[in-house]
Each structure stands twice: as structure tokens, then as C-alpha cells.
Amino acid sequence: MSRETMLNAIRRGLRRGRLPEDQAEMLRARLARHPRHLIPARSRLPRAEQIELFLRNVEKEFGTVDRVAGPAAIPAAVADYLAGQNLPSELVAAPHPQLQAIPWSERPMLQLREGRAEASTLVSLQQAYAAIAETGTLVLPSDPTRPTTINLLAETEIVVLSASRVVGAYEEAWDLLRAESHDELTGGFMPRNVMLVTGPSRSADIEQTLELGAHGPRRLHVVLVDDDASAGQAA
Amino acid sequence: MLATSPAFKQNARRALSDAGLQKALAISKTQFLQRRARAVAAMPEFERLREIGRDIKNHTLTNLDFYLEAWAEKVERAGGQVHWCETADEARAAVLRICEDAGARTVTKGKSMISEELGINEHLERHGITPVETDLGEYILQLRDEPPSHIIAPAFHLNREDWEASFRKSHTDLAADRVFHERRDILTEARSRLRERFLLADVGITGANFLIAETGSSVIVTNEGNGDLTQTLPRVHIVLASIEKMVPTLEDATNMLRLLARSATGQDFSVYTTFSTGVRRQGDLDGPEAYHVVLLDNGRSAMLGTEFQDMLRCIRCAACMNHCPVYGVVGGHAYGWVYPGPMGSVLTPSLIGVDQAGQLPNASTFCGKCESVCPVKIPLPGLMRHWREREFERHLTPSTVRVNLGLWAWFARRPSLYRGATRVAAALLGLMGRRRGRFARLPFAGGWTGGRDLPAPEGDTFFARYARRQRAASR
């Protein structure tokens, strides 16, 4: 119906018919090669500095960070953060194996429920897939172990991130997904949803002045786990 | 949406005497300029990113049919459906059909300029479906029954008092002692009201900042997270996108994203940049079960191959209007349709006709600031000049303007006469204004002297001085 009419209108505008096969082949090759453009110099740094840049950028965007030596230190870090913010110690956690492997029982006061977040969820816990130093951005793709609602419905979102998963630029995160992710429905790599999250939710719609806590989380707290020997340890 | 663009002059006059609007414009404008300047200064490669952005968009437009087909194939493979719509009517019908098939009673909406272009809200309401705007700015406008006045800050024209007044009027169960001293109080009220709406909605409608051929994804960029809630919670997600949103790959989209937030709000990156690809996957705990893209042409393909093709590069960042001296005093509503400011002055005549919107390209000082900040280097003043020419060619220009232009052209084509006449005029005016040094009133120049004095000429015309200087230099 309208499909061919619309494509023909475009071709008429471009003063040609359907692209010749050799040109279409070149475009298909460009899609397959997905060439990178200029990557700004700001993230071209040694590993340790890249991680520092990431943390600095999270704080610049009104997120908070905590750096711990290993997974064993996460329960204490989470409990302390919640107590410090005067928040309840009930969390809804993404059912991700890395989060499941954390020794939560060492802090019995923390109550974890696994699943997706609900409208009433106060605190949620997510496992980051990767993070981008260039702008302090978390990469949160959806899959059965990483529900999207975890990133959206809670008042406070805590995100666990392995230092080894911090990359410099967005392009490097895309290449991680291309190499590691497989989507059964499409046979490609793109999951249903990929959220790039930079700081807590905000709005400047009232008098163009920034206020935190619009529809998404009011607080975004990153717990960085130092698992990357090449990146050096926390100071 | 019904256009009031032909009444631009009256609209503008009303805007100039609207004290609330003038207050809001004064507060907002400097904020945008400073933030963008800071973000751009912190990115030394910005100029190069602009050139790359321009080239990516040009490449995509030249091969738009190919990329649309490649993208549609990926969308379908991900369980999505593409609805090809040539006109606004077709698009409205497609949206309504999807909503009715889903048995929808309420629909939540993320911010979308295409939605304004289509007038989706009115259309759904007429058919018994309740649309709920969820972007904070769009939400207040829906309560007030007003159109947006800015493409990224829709409630640009409102002050805090306006928000409080609208909430008290619409949220009738509000306690009388509920305070709205802080912006935060307003935000909290909107957040809790809209939370209920998100959970009840059957369908979520968002726009798209980009469509990606490589993956079949649609991309939205928000700071509030409302777009994400809109597309995640309901059973059905509808994306409204026009054909020029296309980019080939994730890398191409990434370059555009590096430009977008910096140009728009002066952020390095928006809070939520989300890539949606098809329906909920097996085992997923959330996400929509159906994914539809309503793909709209509505006059855009007719711009291809014309001098206005460059306009299709636009990524709707609003930098041009933020920097425009005309927008800065009349605001967005004066432009009379969906897209205000310099980008609107070029796009609106293309989409609704120069006979309707011919005044808009004339509402420019041609200062060139818009072009200098455009992230994809659209030659906006040049395109506005094209529209002025077309308007003139089609005899849409008022006759007094045509007569005066003709008179001026007659003189300008006779240099010696022109120079002689201006020399006499300058000498005469100089003599008349010698005592006060300026004129408060002059015949035929009431438009100028109504707002300011005209300084009296001192001595020669520019041409006379220039000629003298040339002579001195060659000696």
C-alpha cells in the first residue's frame, strides 16, 4: 500500500529509481562495517584514569559513587549507603547471577526481593552491563536478568558495576554488545531495550531550572567493584 | 494542528505586550545560551563533530529509500510493525486503529513534535480514548489546553505561578493548604499524579529522535524518564517518527547524540538515551508485547532534491530558536504552528505551504546566529531567503512592500543616481538634525522612529568616504 508509494516519492525527489545493485551492496557493506567516526580525545586515557573519569562524570551529573575492593564488600557498602540516606533496607534486585553471587547474608538486615520493580518500589538494585567514561553513562540492556523497570520505577536505584566493564567511549560499548550479546528473536545482537543512563532523573521544564527526581529515580548510586588488576586499586 | 501562522504580525504584537511571557523569556533565554556555550567549550572537537553530523545526514538522505527498507526489515524481524503513512490523515488513522485493536481506554504519551503535527490528542479524544501527556512541560500544557511554545522546553513561556494556578484548578482534590513554594513541590505533585496514569495506560506513544537501520531501533532522549515509562509499562508501544529521523548505524547515531544534548540543553549527554528494538523477548519480565512504528512523510519527500533538502538534516535540538533574537522576544506561539524559531520558519512553509506561512521567513533579522550554532550546519538564513523569493515570485507579498521594493530596485540599478540621491538625502537630514543630533519622528519612517530615535547623519555617505579612502590609498 503506502510503502511503495512513499519509497517512490523519495526516489522521485532524489531523481533516480531504485538504487543499482552495486550501490546497494556498498551501503550494505557500510552497515556491516559500521565505521567509527571521530572519538573525542577526552576518554582516550590509560585504564585507571578512564575509571577516574567515569566516576568524576557520574558525580558531575548528580549521581553518587562508592568504590569497593570486591563483591564481598558490597553488602556493607549498600547497607551503609541506605542507612546514610535514611532509606529502608528493602530492595528489589534484578535477578542477575552476579548480584545473586554477592554474600548478602552477611548483612541480614538487608531484605532483597528478586524481580521487576513496581510502582511502590523505593530502592532497586541493578547490575550494569558496562559504563562509558566519556560522560559517566551506565549501559543497561534489557534481558530476563536485567528488567527495565528496575531502572525506572524506584525512588533510588543502586547500580553495581565491575571496574573491568568501564570503557572510554560509546563505540566501545557497542562493540562489547556486538561481540557478547545474542538476541534469539532477531538473530542479531540488539536486545529489546538498551538504556544509556547518565545520572538521576531530572527536569528543567519549570522555568528552565534543573530539579532532580522527575519520573525516574531521584537518586542514582553506583557501587564500583575493583576487579580489574590493570586499572589499579582505589586510593 | 490549525495554523495561525498567517497572523504572525498580530501574534507577535500580542506576545510583545504579554508581561508574563516577557518575564519567562528573559529568565529562560540566558540559561540556554550559557549552558550550550559551556558544553561546547568543553568539547574541543565540536566543530569537527558538526561536520561529521552534516555528512552523516546528507549520506542518509541521499540513500533514504535504501535505509528505510533495511530498517523496516529489522523492525519486522524484531516482532515490530511499520505503518507507512504518506499523510497526517493516514497516520492518525493508523494510531487510532492500533489503539482500538488493543482495546485502549487511556494512552500515555512521551514528548513528540510529530504528535503535535498530527494533532493526535484531539483525534483520540474524539474517538473516546484519553491521551495523557507525561513530559512535565507537555502535561501542564495539556491541563491548560495550550500548544507547546518551544520544541524541547514546551512550557518555556510559563512561570512558576502559572504552574501552581493550573494544578489548583485541575487537581480539584488538592488540599487548600498544600504549598508550592519550591519548584520541587510542583515536580512532586506531577510525579505522583502521573505515576497512576502510567500504570493504567493500555498504550504508550513516544516520538523518536533517531531510527537506526543497522538494528531496526528507535531512539528517544529524555531527562525525566517519562518516555521510558511510557514505552515500558503499557502492553503496546507506538513510535511516531518521520522519515528523516533515519541514520544508518549505532556509530552514526552516536555522533548525532554527541551533538544533540550539547546543542539542546547544554548537557554532555541527556539522562536517558534509550534504544528500543521490537517486542518483549521470551523470559523478559517487562516491556511491551507489541511494537508499532507509524512512519510519516507528510510533505518531507517533496523537499528532497530541492534547495530545502538541507532542512531534513534537522535533529530538533532547538539551538536555532534559543539563539534567535526574534524568537527571544515573541516566543514560540507567535509562529502559529508546531515548529517555531528559525527551523520553523524554514520547515513550516514546506509542510503547510508558503501561502499559509510566508510571513515566517520574513520574521528574521538575518543575523546568522542560527546557522552558526546549528549542529548539522543547516544554512537557515539562506533557506529563509529562498522562501522570501518564492513568496515574491508567487505574488504573495503585500502590494506596498512590492511597490517599495520595486522603487528601491530601480534606484539601486542606477548607481550614479542612487549615490547622488543618497548624498542629497544625507546632507539634508544632517542639516535638519544638526541642532538635536537625532530625529524622534520622520515621514515614512514611523515604524523605525516609533521605538527609537534616528541619529542625524554627520557628513558624507558611506560611498563618498569609501571612494575618498580608495583614492588616498592609491596615491
**Phi then psi dihedrals of residue A64, to 5 deg:** -120, 155
A109: amino acid identity, one letter: M
B41 shares contact with chain A (CB less than 8 Å) = no
SS3 content of chain B, % helix, strand, coil (to 5): 55, 10, 35
pLDDT at A229 over 80: no
Burial class, B65, CB count within 10 angstroms (exposed 0-12 / middle 13-18 / buried 19+): buried
Place of cell 543497561: A140
C-alpha A31/C-alpha B473 separation (Å) is 60
Task: Say yes or no to pLDDT of A100 above 60.
Answer: yes
The predicted model gives A128-147 an average pLDDT of 98
pTM over 0.95: no
CA angle (B388 as vertex; B1, B331 as ends), nearest 5: 45
pLDDT, mean over chain A = 95
Residue ranges of B 147-206 with Cβ closer than 8 A to chain A: 153-156, 158-160, 163, 183-184, 186-188, 191, 194-195, 198-199
What grid cell was written down for B418? 542612487
CB proximity under 8 Å: B 250-289 to A: 250-252, 254-255, 257-258, 265, 267-287
Burial of A27 (0-12, 13-18, 19+ CB in 10 A): middle
Chain A interface disruption, residue of B33, B64, B141, B187, most A CBs within 10 A: B187
Chain B CB within 8 Å of residue A44 CB: no
Q: Cell numbers 544625507 correspond to what residue?
A: B426
User: Who wins on pLDDT, A227 or B131?
Assistant: B131
Q: Which amino acid is at A188?
A: G
**Phi-psi bin for B373: left (phi > 0), alpha (psi -120 to 50), beta?**
alpha
Tell the burial category of B472 from Cβ atoms under 10 Å away from its Cβ (0-12, 13-18, 19+). Answer: exposed
A205 touching B (Cβ < 8 Å):
yes
- The mean-pLDDT minimum among A1-5, A116-120, B8-12, B221-225 falls in A1-5
Q: Does A149 touch chain B (CB under 8 A)?
A: yes
pLDDT value of position B308: 97
Q: Chain centroid to CA B311: how far? A: 12
Of A31, A151, A193, the CB nearest to B276: A193
pLDDT classification of A234: cutoffs 50, 70, 90: very low
DSSP labels, B13-71: HHHHT-HHHHHHHHHHHHHHHHHHHHHHHT-TTHHHHHHHHHHHHHHHHHTHHHHHHHH
Amino acid symbol at B108: T
Numbered ranges of CATH 3.40.50.10420 in chain B: 43-298
Residue B252 CB contacts under 8 Å (≥ 6 apart), including other chains:
A37, B56, B60, B212
Q: Angle at which helices B183-200 and B160-170 pack, to 10 degrees?
A: 40
Query: Which element (helix H / strand E) includes A114?
Result: strand A111-114
Contact across the interface for B306 and A13, Cβ inside 8 Å? yes
If one compares A93 and B151, the residue with the highest pLDDT of the two is A93
Residue entry with cell 566493564: A165
CA–CA–CA angle A17, A19, A25 (5° rounding): 170
Superfamily classification of domain B43-298: NagB/RpiA/CoA transferase-like (3.40.50.10420)
Amino acid identity, residue B102?
Answer: A
- Cβ-Cβ contacts under 8 Å, B255 against chain A: 37-38
Question: Which amino acid, residue B207?
Answer: G
Return the domain boundaries, chain A: 1-35, 45-231
User: Please, which residues have CB within 8 angstroms of residue B275's CB and are 6 or more apart in sequence?
Assistant: A190, A193, A194, A195, A196, B212, B215, B217, B218, B219
**Closest residue to B191, CB basis, from A30, A197, A215:** A215
* CA distance linking residue A86 with residue B434, whole number of Å: 75
**Is B297 in contact with A9 (Cβ distance < 8 A)?**
yes
Q: Are B304 and B242 in contact (CB under 8 A)?
A: no
Contact in structure between A55 and A65 (CB atoms under 8 Å):
yes
The Cα B246–Cα B252 span in angstroms is 10
Chain A contact for B302, CB < 8 A? yes
**Structure confidence at residue B321 (pLDDT):** 95
Q: With an 8 Å Cβ cutoff, are B159 and A207 in contact? A: yes
Position A1 scores a pLDDT of: 58
Write out the three cell numbers for B304.
528532497
Report chain B (475 residues): mean pLDDT per 10 consecutive residues. Answer: 87 92 85 93 98 98 98 98 97 98 96 95 97 93 90 87 89 84 87 91 98 98 96 97 98 98 96 98 97 97 97 97 94 94 96 91 94 98 94 84 88 89 87 84 80 84 87 87
**Cα–Cα distance between B49 and A7 in angstroms, integer?**
30
Instruction: Verify whether the Cβ–Cβ distance A208 to B43 is below 8 Å.
Output: no
Contact between residue A197 and residue A220 where contact means Cβ atoms under 8 Å apart: yes
CB-based contact B66 A27, cutoff 8 Å: yes
Element (H or E) spanning B90, and its range? helix B88-101
Distance CA A53, CA B130 (A): 46
d(Cα A85, Cα A78) in Å, to the nearest integer? 11
Q: Out of 3.30.479.20, 3.40.50.1980, 3.40.50.10420, 3.40.640.10, which CATH number does the structure's domain A45-231 have? A: 3.40.50.10420
Instruction: Please give the Cα distance from B62 to B58 (Å, whole number).
Output: 6
What pLDDT is recorded for position A230? 59
